[in-house]
Structures are given as structure tokens and as C-alpha cells.
A and B are shown apart, each in its own frame.
Chain A
Amino acid sequence: MLTLPSFEWARPRTVEETLAALSDRPGETLVVAGGTDAVPNLKHRLHEPRLVVHIGGVRELQFVRDAEDGLHLGALVTLAELARHPVVRRDFPSLARAAGLVAGPQLRNMGTLGGNLCLDTRCTYYNQTYFWRSALGYCLKKDGAAAWRRTPRTSRRC
């Protein structure tokens, strides 16, 4: 099985505690909510943080509020909730549909809106194990000096 690296683990309950935890070790901290992207990336050694801050228990961030000035969504709203929320479906049907199209049901149950918006790079040269990336000669995004592009002539992004 792919292993997780060793790291310290913080479970703040409030936004205030979260901010304190994040400022504790700047540059060496990873935020995890649903973990659907961060955990595989940890297993792939794409991140090797000293501290992982799990914000899944911060209740202040779990809300869908329909207000005068528009719809307010907390960062911890899951994609599944977004896809089936009656107000989102009524007023923002394309958002509900997009959330419902991400991955499969299990991942939508765990994955959060905040995590989705802050998603790390997705690339066949990047989201691979440490061994595979070493056999590739690494990529610029992690451990390497050269950027890999899937379609060099048409794509300028990697």
C-alpha cells in the first residue's frame, strides 16, 4: 500500500484556532478538509509538510446561506451537498450540475467546495508516485528542472 509520510496533526474547532495553527509553521503546513486531493498527494510525496491542519471540524465554515446580496457558501460545503441543495439547484443550476459531475459519489461526499477551488495541479506528469516521477526525471512542479506538457504544440499550460 502507498504510505503516508510522518507529520504532526492539528484539529482546530474554530476559524481563530485554524489561523493560529496555520501561522505556527508558515511554509510547512498543509490544510486538509475532505482530503480527496490532499491525501493522495501526501501518499505521492507531492507535499511533505511538517504539520497538517484538518479543518473538517470547523463548524463556522459549514453553511449555505441564502441572503439578500446573494448566496453565501462555506468552504466546507461538500460537493454532494452543493449538487443537491434546493436553493443552489433553483438559483444556480449550472453550479449544482457542475458539482454533481465531479468524480464519483464517494468523492463528492468527502470533497469540499473550498478544497475544489484550491485544488492542486492535476496532471499525468504530476499526480504520480515518487518512484514514477523519479523514473520520469521529475517535473518542474516538484523536484525537477523541466516542465512536461502533454500536448506541447497546443497547450501552454502544464
Chain B
Amino acid sequence: MKRRGTPAIPADRMMPAEKRLIPPAWPGGRTAPPNREFRVIGKRNRKVEGLAKVTGRAIYADDIALPRMLHGKLLRSPHAHARIRSIDVSAARALPGVHAILTGRDLPEYFGIIPWTEDEQALCEEKARYVGDAVAAVAAESELIAEEALKRIRVEYETVPAITSIDEALEHPEIKVNEKAKEGNISKHVHLEFGDVEAELEKSDATIEAEYWYEGSTHAPIEPHCAIGDFDATGFLTLYSSTQVAHYLHRDLAKVLGLPTQRIRVIQPVVGGAFGGKSEPFSLEFCAAKLSMLTGRPVKILYTREEVFYAHRGRHPMRLRYRTGIKRDGTLTGVDAKIHIDGGAYSSFGLVTTYYSGQLLTAPYQMKAYRFDSTRVFTNKPCCGPKRGHGSVQPRFAFECQIDKLADAIGMDPIEVRRRNFLGEHTRTVNELRVTSNGFPQCLEAVERASDWKRKFRRMPYGHGVGVAGSMYISGTNYCIYPNEMPQSGVQLKLDRSGRATVFCGASDIGQGSDSVLAYIVAEELGLDIGDIRVVAADTDLTPVDLGSYSSRETFMVGNACLDAARKLRLMVAESLAERWGCRAEDVTLAGGVACSTRAPEKECMSVQSAFQLAEARHGTLGSVGWYQSPKLGGDYRGGTIGASPAYSFTAHVAEVECDPETGRVSVRKIWVAHDCGRALNPVAVEGQMEGSAYMGFAEAIFEEQLFKPEAPGHGAGLHHGPSLLDYRIPTSLDTPELESIIIESVDPEGPYGAKEAGEGPLHPSIPAIANAIYDALGVRCDRLPFDPPRVFRLLRSCDARAQWERARAHVHEAATGAQATAERSPSGTRAR
């Protein structure tokens, strides 16, 4: 990749490989419990912040009201593509109650989450690139006055033709959406090939070539973005923000505002959902800070729901063409993918998205050869970015449908095809990703059994069907967003004579439960009650750096850092007790609030609080630090580190649908989700993530569609179809199918107690499992999302669905009869009773 902006670390300043940080190894490894058995880990505990949330006591960003606080509002462009000729703010400035107004010239510095593609400004200076792009900001005594001021700002626009689709972007390089693009409207292009794809495809007995379309979707978190900037007289800025990446925000604030990082404090209050939609800096954070710097008063900006749709960074629309082959015995041969990605107006994480669209497909199935060619383009629409399952949900949908079609082509059960192509554990993928633990076969088996697959697949009446799909996802990535060799996660732990432990960590809990994970680990290691642990998180003044909540990294990386810190303290306490009792430190147990020796627990025993006091007397004030840095991973080729993760999670779904052949309405009855999360640190939290993921995938499959209006008299192309939760429909509890979560524990050798991710992986198979179930039910292939009644109805009308359905059944039944005959010949005595 060509590097611009922030350069990589020069080779002569790189740490020699042997001096690279390597996390300490603990006796028995990271997977073992501290005292023979787990007391906290694996138990169905509460989340630490749960009660505060359900009783209304949790403080979200918008709950914060500082003395003398002003309110900010942003003026947004009504045009999808327009040069800004002039901005006249005089009438707005004259309005009583208005304290400051910003335009693009006040914050000219470019920023962007990926240092090589910094192409955004807090406020557009030269050009607005989508309907809703921010062009000015006002701070006033109230929101109402700020809004009134916005109406008085005169912006003279010169409209430019808007590019609103992938094809337009490619066909019109002369209309440049984003001037930072090196070539036309290309945001990023990646072409990678592993093995000889054509030769492998030649060996196939059947090949399928098909095109898929994923319409974009957005996160729709309950809490809109909110930020409060507070610049004090000493020149120190405090910014409260509903973010999931306090550390990156900290860096970009310094860059854009021209302040030293040591003069900025970023605090993340309780966040009401993010799903990837708050994983980079946004206009409101810079504007709230700058307006506070200008006025000397705190300034709050809270986005409306409409503005959340414009801030977006949701799932990219993708057009995916796949050519895949299979042999008669079910072995997959070559995979060839050509992908076009609609990125919207800016880069965001686009560089990574483009790689992920290809790199994350290579497990859990063995591929002999694989090629992908992915192109992300700029269009005049709100910028796309990472949404739960970043970059890989769309290709996974296409590929799992391909597998289903291939299985159909050779008349084999699609679960069997997946089983036969299992990649294995402790191995490498075709693109050189290192895979450690892998519980995918157990996931498949679990959903096959739980769903009663064998009795349902190709055996239910017309309109009823089941479908299967599998996937893998990363547990954090070793590709750090800016080049550095410091730990990816740090934890400080404080223990004192009160018997209480405080964990300080930069980790960002956005509802997924990272605060809880920290508390569980400390409780397990130090023998404390979960309630005796206080977690201080995501405050750049108080907590050591953690890179934030993205790419499913928190449990794995923060968990490992915390395990480290807790084991160091545990050792200090155990040594103090061992000295007192004259035993070995390994013979000391800390559990359930009691410290004792294993050889004479009745005699050699005291409360953990007394044990801490003993340790404090022996070692001085008690504290420890822990950190995590992933091993050097990834293939030796350009982009080979993108997608490389210290561990991968695996998932399988079976979805059961009931479809109305008259109207095309699809009702998803139930989804069985089996997920290999390594070890469930708290099974309830893992199940919550699995259900939430399956729900979100289901929503994208059936409901969600981020659409924009074409050109019409009165307006140009690119207006959001309806930026509200009334028009952009997400399923309610009444729409949601029954979900059954089955946890598979493969115990990863490098995860904290063996844990891997659970927050994003379980989303992936939802969409293809439903698509495949619709085929089983109706005999039509849904290759375009969402599967809403008009689309399914049109598919039903476009072919003889019923005949296709009959054919698919006959095909599998023939194959099954053969297999059954073999099974019946085997001795009946071996059957389980």
C-alpha cells in the first residue's frame, strides 16, 4: 500500500524483532484457572453496569450539563455535490444569544481514522460532498437560538453533478467526488491472488458464477452522537464524547485543533450503543471543542436522529461477483471474487474495508486457490465505514450462498459440504492467516442437531424451509491504525487495605461488556466479589491506552492485559501469604473472599482483605500494570497484515423460514446460532452478543435498506430516502424470530482463559442462512438484499419457482437414498439408545 500522511516507522528506528514486546507467559498458560477451578469465569454473572442502566442512573453524554454551557448546532448542505462559493454569517452573528460561529476555514486541518487517507475536514471548506455534509457550526444560549442562527447563515453554492452509484463513479472519473483520490473516484483498489485459481477451477465438476448485491445499512444505535467540549482558562481541553475510540479521538483532536495531546482529556461516558458507528472522530467533536475554545464556555452538540443518518459510517453497499468450483466429492476448488464497494464521500476505514472484503473469507473452509479484486469508490452519499462485522458480512453472504448453490449442483447436503471443506485448527489459510483454535465442526453439528436439520432440509412443504451458513471473524487485529510498537492494550490495577480493587483501562464499553470482563478477571484472580471491583475506563487522563472498541478486540486484548496485571498482583499477595505460612506461593488459594493454603485450609486461612494488608505491609503500596501486544502475524505480502488476528471465532447458523408464495412475504421463524468464542467468560453476556448479532443480521436480511433518492425536479440525486426511524425500519421485538444460542468452547491457547470474540462473528451467517432457507422454501435464489416482499414476489414471478423447488428436493433425496442404504447395512448394535 502506498503510504501518505503519517509515515510508517522508518526501518532503522524499528525495534529489532527479538526486542519486540512479548507478553509474559504464566505457569499453566493463559487458559488455566488460578485455583484449579473457575469461581467467577464461566458463571452467569450480571454485567457490572447493568443495574445503573436499567434504573436510569447511568450518565450518558447528553445527561451531562456543565455550568454556563452553550449549545451547538451544525449547518448542513442541502446539495449532494456543491462548491461553496461564499458563506455570510453576519446576520446569524447579530442574533442575540449567539456566541460563536465556525466555518471550514476555522478548522482547515484534514483528519481521518486511517493516517494514510486523511480526507475529511470538520466543516467543508471548498465543497460539500453529500446531502448533510456539515458546512458551519453555531454556539448559542439554547438549541432553539442556534437553529434560528443556522437559518440566517447565507451559503452560496454552485452545484456539481452528483455521483450516486458505483457505475457512475467508475464511468465519470472527470467528476471527482473527493479530491484526495489519486485516480478518478477510486478510494482503494486491492488485487490479491493466492494459488492458481484458473487451474483449480478447471478441476471442478461444477462451477457457479453469480452476482450479488448488498444494499447498504446503518447502525441505528439508540443513543445519537453527543459531545461536550470544555476548554478552561489554563488552555486545557476536556471533551466528553459518545465514542468507542477515545484514544484515536484524542490524537485527532490534537491534530485538528493544534493543541498538544498532553493538554487534552477525552472522557467517554456511558455509551448507548455504537456498533461501529462511533469508531472514528466526527464533526461534532471538533466543533464542540473549537466553539468552547472560542467562547471559553462549555459547548454541547447533540446530533438529531437525522444527523446520525448523515454521520453514518454504516455497512457499504457492495456488488459482488463470485466464481466458485466444487468437485463431485464436495471439495471446493478455486474461488474468484470481483467486488465493487460504494464508499460514500470519504475514506473512513475504507482502506481496511477493501482488504477485509477479500481477506476474511479464507476460513473456515479450505480453499485451494483464491483471488479477489476489490475496488472501493467515492460517491456523493454519507460516508460508509465499519458496521458490526466490518467489510466481511457482504462477501460472506455471497459466498455462503455460492456454497449452497454448489451443494445443490452436486446433490449434497450443504452441511456436509461445509464439513468436508473444514480448514482444521492450528493451521494457515490460503492467504497465510494463522488460525489457532477452531470449533467450527462443533458449531455445525450443534445447529444441525438443535434444528432437527435432517428431518427438515428439503423435506418441508412448499413455503417452509431451512438454510445453513457458516463464518469466521477476527478477535482484534494486529494491524494497528497508526504505526507504533507500543502495546495495543494496557491495564493498571490498584489494590489496597480496604479490600477493594480498582481497574484502570482505556477500553471502551459500548454495551458489549468490556467493563464487566475486566471485573470478572480481577475477581477470579484475586478471590474478590465482583461488586468489590471498580472499573475506571476510557478516560485518557486516568487510564492507560487501549485502542478502543473495534474489530472485536476488547475481550481478547484487554482481557489479556488485565489477566497480566491481576496475576502480577496475585503473585505478590500469594508470596506474602506463603512466607507467613511457610508454604509455596502456588499452594495459596484466593477465592470467594478467603485466602488459604491448600495443605491446611482450616488453619492457614484469612480474609482476602487481611491478605492484601499483609501484602501491602510487605511490598509497600500495591499496584500493577499489565499489557497486551499481539505476536507478529500476517502474510509476507503487501496488505498481508490486514485481517491477521491472534485468534478467530467461528459461527454456524440454521435459519427456518415460512414464506407466503402469494405475496413474497418471508417470516423468519427461528435462528439457531452456534458460536465458538473460545471460552465464555460470562455465558449470559456471550448469548446476548450472539442474539444481538443474529438479530442485526436478520434485520439486514429482511428489513433494512439505506436508500437515496434519484434526481427529480426540485432537487438533485443523493437525498436520503427518509433519515428517521419511521422510514428506515428496524425490527422490533415483535418482528424478531426466536433465537437459540449454543456456545461452543474451543479454548484458544492465547486468549484470556481461552476466550475469543463473540460480538461480531455471530452476525455473519444470518443473512445467507435466511437466503438459503428461502431457496429451500420457495425454490428462488435471493441474491439481492433485502429479502422484502416486492423482491421475493418478483423473483417468484420471474421463473417457475415451484419446478425449481421440486428439482432441488429430488436432487438431494436421490443422494440421500444412496447414503441411507449404506447406513442401513451397518450393524444396528452400534446405535446409541
Residues of A at the B interface (CB closer than 8 Å) are: 1-6, 104, 124, 127-129, 131-132, 134-138, 144, 146
Contact among A127, A132, A138 with B720 in the assembled complex (CB-CB below 8 Å): A132
Nearest Cβ on chain B to A138's Cβ, whole angstroms: 7
Nearest Cβ on chain A to B294's Cβ, whole angstroms: 23
Nearest Cβ on chain A to B113's Cβ, whole angstroms: 26
Contacts A6-B144, A124-B722: A136 and B306 contacting too (C-beta < 8 A)?
no
Within the assembled complex, what's the spacing in Å between the Cα atoms of A4 and B724?
Answer: 17
B105: Cβ under 8 A from any A Cβ: no
Contact among A1, A124, A131, A144 with B143 in the assembled complex (CB-CB below 8 Å): A1
Asked whether A128 lies within 8 Å of B713 as measured between CB atoms, the reply is no
B79 proximity list for chain A (CB < 8 A):
135
A132 proximity list for chain B (CB < 8 A):
306, 719-720, 723
Asked whether B715 lies within 8 Å of A137 as measured between CB atoms, the reply is yes
Within the assembled complex, what's the spacing in Å between the Cα atoms of A132 and B721?
Answer: 10
A144 proximity list for chain B (CB < 8 A):
714
Question: Which chain A residue has the least Cβ–Cβ distance from B304?
Answer: A2
Contact among B713, B722, B732 with A137 in the assembled complex (CB-CB below 8 Å): B713
Contact among B62, B304, B715, B727 with A135 in the assembled complex (CB-CB below 8 Å): B715
B222 proximity list for chain A (CB < 8 A):
none
B147: Cβ under 8 A from any A Cβ: yes
A104 proximity list for chain B (CB < 8 A):
732
Contact among B302, B714, B724 with A128 in the assembled complex (CB-CB below 8 Å): B724
Which chain B residues in 699-714 approach chain A with CB under 8 Å?
709, 713-714
Nearest Cβ on chain B to A49's Cβ, whole angstroms: 16
B76: Cβ under 8 A from any A Cβ: yes
A-B contacts, 16 of them at CB < 8 A, read: A1-B304, A2-B304, A2-B305, A3-B144, A4-B144, A6-B144, A124-B722, A124-B727, A127-B726, A129-B304, A131-B306, A132-B719, A135-B78, A135-B719, A137-B713, A144-B714
B720 proximity list for chain A (CB < 8 A):
132
Nearest Cβ on chain B to A46's Cβ, whole angstroms: 14
B99-132 to A contact mask, C-beta < 8 Å, 1/0: 0000000000000000000000000000000010
A-B contact count (CB 8 A): 47
Contacts A2-B304, A3-B144: A131 and B714 contacting too (C-beta < 8 A)?
no
Contacts A3-B144, A146-B713: A131 and B78 contacting too (C-beta < 8 A)?
yes
Asked whether B76 lies within 8 Å of A131 as measured between CB atoms, the reply is yes
- Chain B CB count within 10 A is highest, among A5, A104, A135, A138, for A135
Within the assembled complex, what's the spacing in Å between the Cα atoms of A45 and B697?
Answer: 35
A138 proximity list for chain B (CB < 8 A):
714
Question: Which chain A residue has the least Cβ–Cβ distance from B713?
Answer: A146
Within the assembled complex, what's the spacing in Å between the Cα atoms of A132 and B723?
Answer: 8
B714 proximity list for chain A (CB < 8 A):
136-138, 144, 146
A4 proximity list for chain B (CB < 8 A):
144
Within the assembled complex, what's the spacing in Å between the Cα atoms of A123 and B143?
Answer: 27
Within the assembled complex, what's the spacing in Å between the Cα atoms of A3 and B140?
Answer: 14
Within the assembled complex, what's the spacing in Å between the Cα atoms of A137 and B79?
Answer: 10
A3 proximity list for chain B (CB < 8 A):
143-144, 147
Contact among A6, A128, A131 with B722 in the assembled complex (CB-CB below 8 Å): A128
Within the assembled complex, what's the spacing in Å between the Cα atoms of A148 and B720?
Answer: 15
B306 proximity list for chain A (CB < 8 A):
129, 131-132
Within the assembled complex, what's the spacing in Å between the Cα atoms of A1 and B709?
Answer: 25
Nearest Cβ on chain A to B311's Cβ, whole angstroms: 14
Nearest 10 interchain pairs by C-beta:
A137-B714, A135-B78, A137-B715, A3-B144, A3-B143, A135-B131, A124-B722, A2-B304, A136-B715, A135-B719
B719 proximity list for chain A (CB < 8 A):
132, 135-136
Which chain B residues in 52-97 approach chain A with CB under 8 Å?
62, 76, 78-79
Nearest Cβ on chain B to A88's Cβ, whole angstroms: 23
B131 proximity list for chain A (CB < 8 A):
135
B732 proximity list for chain A (CB < 8 A):
104
- Chain A CB count within 10 A is highest, among B62, B79, B709, for B709
Nearest Cβ on chain B to A36's Cβ, whole angstroms: 12
B727 proximity list for chain A (CB < 8 A):
124
Within the assembled complex, what's the spacing in Å between the Cα atoms of A6 and B147?
Answer: 12
Known A-B contacts: A1-B304, A4-B144, A5-B144. Give 5 more (CB < 8 A): A124-B722, A135-B131, A135-B715, A136-B714, A146-B713
Within the assembled complex, what's the spacing in Å between the Cα atoms of A18 and B715?
Answer: 42
B709 proximity list for chain A (CB < 8 A):
136
Within the assembled complex, what's the spacing in Å between the Cα atoms of A134 and B131?
Answer: 11
B302 proximity list for chain A (CB < 8 A):
1
Question: Which chain A residue has the least Cβ–Cβ distance from B131?
Answer: A135
Asked whether B304 lies within 8 Å of A134 as measured between CB atoms, the reply is no
Within the assembled complex, what's the spacing in Å between the Cα atoms of A96 and B824?
Answer: 59
Nearest Cβ on chain A to B670's Cβ, whole angstroms: 24
Within the assembled complex, what's the spacing in Å between the Cα atoms of A131 and B720?
Answer: 12
Question: Which chain B residue has the least Cβ–Cβ distance from A125?
Answer: B722
- Chain B CB count within 10 A is highest, among A1, A2, A5, A144, for A1
Within the assembled complex, what's the spacing in Å between the Cα atoms of A100 and B305?
Answer: 27
Within the assembled complex, what's the spacing in Å between the Cα atoms of A28 and B345?
Answer: 42
Within the assembled complex, what's the spacing in Å between the Cα atoms of A97 and B791?
Answer: 30
B62 proximity list for chain A (CB < 8 A):
1
Within the assembled complex, what's the spacing in Å between the Cα atoms of A128 and B727?
Answer: 10
- Chain A CB count within 10 A is highest, among B147, B302, B305, B727, for B147
Within the assembled complex, what's the spacing in Å between the Cα atoms of A35 and B181?
Answer: 49
Within the assembled complex, what's the spacing in Å between the Cα atoms of A5 and B244?
Answer: 33
- Chain B CB count within 10 A is highest, among A6, A128, A138, for A128
Within the assembled complex, what's the spacing in Å between the Cα atoms of A136 and B719?
Answer: 7
A136 proximity list for chain B (CB < 8 A):
709, 714-715, 719
Question: Which chain A residue has the least Cβ–Cβ distance from B151?
Answer: A130
Within the assembled complex, what's the spacing in Å between the Cα atoms of A1 and B724?
Answer: 13
B117-161 to A contact mask, C-beta < 8 Å, 1/0: 000000000000001000000000001100100000000000000
Within the assembled complex, what's the spacing in Å between the Cα atoms of A22 and B554?
Answer: 59
Nearest Cβ on chain B to A61's Cβ, whole angstroms: 28
Question: Which chain A residue has the least Cβ–Cβ distance from B150?
Answer: A131
Question: Which chain B residue has the least Cβ–Cβ distance from A129?
Answer: B306
Question: Which chain A residue has the least Cβ–Cβ distance from B305?
Answer: A2
Nearest Cβ on chain B to A41's Cβ, whole angstroms: 12
Nearest Cβ on chain A to B96's Cβ, whole angstroms: 14
Within the assembled complex, what's the spacing in Å between the Cα atoms of A136 and B131?
Answer: 10
Nearest Cβ on chain B to A145's Cβ, whole angstroms: 9
Nearest Cβ on chain A to B633's Cβ, whole angstroms: 45
Within the assembled complex, what's the spacing in Å between the Cα atoms of A124 and B723?
Answer: 10
Nearest Cβ on chain A to B256's Cβ, whole angstroms: 25
Within the assembled complex, what's the spacing in Å between the Cα atoms of A132 and B709?
Answer: 12
- Chain B CB count within 10 A is highest, among A5, A132, A146, for A132
A2 proximity list for chain B (CB < 8 A):
304-305
B724 proximity list for chain A (CB < 8 A):
128
A128 proximity list for chain B (CB < 8 A):
722-724
Nearest Cβ on chain A to B77's Cβ, whole angstroms: 8
Question: Which chain B residue has the least Cβ–Cβ distance from A40?
Answer: B726
Within the assembled complex, what's the spacing in Å between the Cα atoms of A88 and B18?
Answer: 81
Within the assembled complex, what's the spacing in Å between the Cα atoms of A138 and B719?
Answer: 12
Which chain B residues in 292-318 approach chain A with CB under 8 Å?
302, 304-306
B723 proximity list for chain A (CB < 8 A):
128-129, 132
Within the assembled complex, what's the spacing in Å between the Cα atoms of A104 and B726?
Answer: 12
Within the assembled complex, what's the spacing in Å between the Cα atoms of A131 and B144?
Answer: 14
- Chain A CB count within 10 A is highest, among B144, B714, B715, B719, for B714
B78 proximity list for chain A (CB < 8 A):
131, 134-135
Question: Which chain A residue has the least Cβ–Cβ distance from B73?
Answer: A3
Within the assembled complex, what's the spacing in Å between the Cα atoms of A129 and B727?
Answer: 12
B726 proximity list for chain A (CB < 8 A):
127
Nearest Cβ on chain B to A85's Cβ, whole angstroms: 23
Within the assembled complex, what's the spacing in Å between the Cα atoms of A146 and B147?
Answer: 26
Which chain B residues in 672-724 approach chain A with CB under 8 Å?
709, 713-715, 719-724
Question: Which chain A residue has the least Cβ–Cβ distance from B709?
Answer: A136
Nearest Cβ on chain A to B699's Cβ, whole angstroms: 17
A137 proximity list for chain B (CB < 8 A):
713-715
Nearest Cβ on chain B to A37's Cβ, whole angstroms: 12
Within the assembled complex, what's the spacing in Å between the Cα atoms of A144 and B715?
Answer: 12
Nearest Cβ on chain A to B422's Cβ, whole angstroms: 45
